[in-house]
């Protein structure tokens, strides 16, 4: 089995993906699958090989799909609802290696995915049209990538989430953070660090989101800034609503 990237042919997906990062281009996909073919195949056969089969669906190992935050490492787990939402947002491209040419696309899809989660928790959609917020998030992400380290930076009037994740798993980031719902106790009215990202993402009183994404090698640094800021003292019952089951069942 062979893989094509930027006009070059590779024997393994790993080689193709590394070349993709180096040359800032994408590995070719069928729909959400990597395009594979025999090296001796004719052009027509190469085109046919992009059809979906069980053999060439891009594999993702959940135990390796992890994000490093300021205080812990959180990994991809099982959640039927968030998986359906992930498919809704990402199924046309699948798990895609990040490069700078995809910056706008990832920002747009992160916002879309977060707003779907918010809908299920009776929170209004966030807007990304607050330029100062978006610029602050990107500046923060650039700083993290430069130093290859998670650190706080900038104004504290926003609520900021930070994370670093391997390039090939970037599309799973919002799902990983949303799945912290399993740690959140809706009967309590205080902060839970294990569910920090989840509660900030669905915080009802937040109205604007700034997204920053920057990479350094295979590591991608992501910054989300929310305004008005969430995770406020003794405001959790009012701002983090239980899942609307009738909506989730649709």
What pLDDT, on a 0 to 100 scale, did the predictor assign at position 26?
46
Strand ranges across the sheet with 159-166: 73-75, 66-68, 159-166, 219-227, 208-216
pLDDT for residue 170 is more than 50: yes
- Verdict on whether the full-model pTM lies above 0.85: no
Determine the length of the chain: 250
pLDDT per position as a tens digit, 31-42? 333 344 444 555
What pLDDT, on a 0 to 100 scale, did the predictor assign at position 54?
32
pLDDT per position as a tens digit, 139-162? 999 999 999 999 999 888 999 999
pLDDT for residue 23 is more than 90: no
Q: Could you give the percent of the chain with pLDDT greater than 90?
A: 67
Where would I find the H helices in the chain? 13-23, 43-48, 80-90, 103-120, 131-147, 173-178, 196-202, 236-239, 245-248
How sure is the predictor about 53, in pLDDT bands with cuts at 50, 70 and 90? very low
What pLDDT, on a 0 to 100 scale, did the predictor assign at position 8?
77
CB neighbourhood size of 8 (10 A)? 13
Q: Which two tokens stand for residue 236?
A: 């959790």
Domain 60-248: which CATH number of 3.90.1150.10, 3.40.50.20, 3.30.70.360, 3.40.33.10: 3.40.33.10
| Sequence ranges of the chain with CATH classification 3.40.33.10 | 60-248
* Residue with the larger pLDDT of the pair 197 and 33: 197
């Amino acid at each position: 089995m062979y893989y094509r990237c930027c006009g070059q042919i590779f024997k393994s997906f790993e080689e193709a993906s590394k070349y993709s990062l180096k040359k800032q281009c994408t590995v070719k996909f069928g729909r959400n699958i990597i395009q594979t073919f025999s090296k001796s195949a004719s052009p027509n056969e190469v085109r046919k090989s992009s059809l979906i089969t069980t053999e060439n669906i891009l594999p993702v190992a959940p135990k390796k799909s992890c994000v490093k935050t300021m205080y812990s490492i959180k990994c991809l787990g099982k959640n039927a609802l968030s998986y359906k939402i992930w498919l809704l947002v990402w199924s046309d491209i699948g798990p895609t290696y990040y490069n700078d040419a995809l910056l706008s696309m990832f920002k747009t899809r992160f916002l879309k995915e977060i707003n779907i989660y918010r809908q299920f928790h009776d929170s209004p959609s966030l807007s990304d049209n607050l330029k100062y917020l978006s610029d602050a998030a990107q500046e923060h992400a650039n700083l993290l990538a430069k130093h290859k380290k998670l650190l706080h930076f900038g104004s504290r009037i926003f609520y900021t989430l930070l994370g670093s994740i391997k390039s090939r798993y970037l599309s799973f980031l919002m799902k990983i953070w949303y799945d912290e719902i399993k740690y959140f106790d809706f009967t309590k009215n205080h902060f839970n660090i294990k569910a920090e990202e989840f509660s900030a993402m669905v915080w009802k009183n937040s109205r604007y989101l700034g997204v920053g994404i920057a990479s350094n090698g295979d590591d991608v640094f992501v910054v989300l800034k929310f305004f008005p800021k969430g995770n406020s003292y003794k405001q959790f019952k009012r701002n983090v609503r239980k899942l609307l089951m009738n909506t989730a069942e649709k």
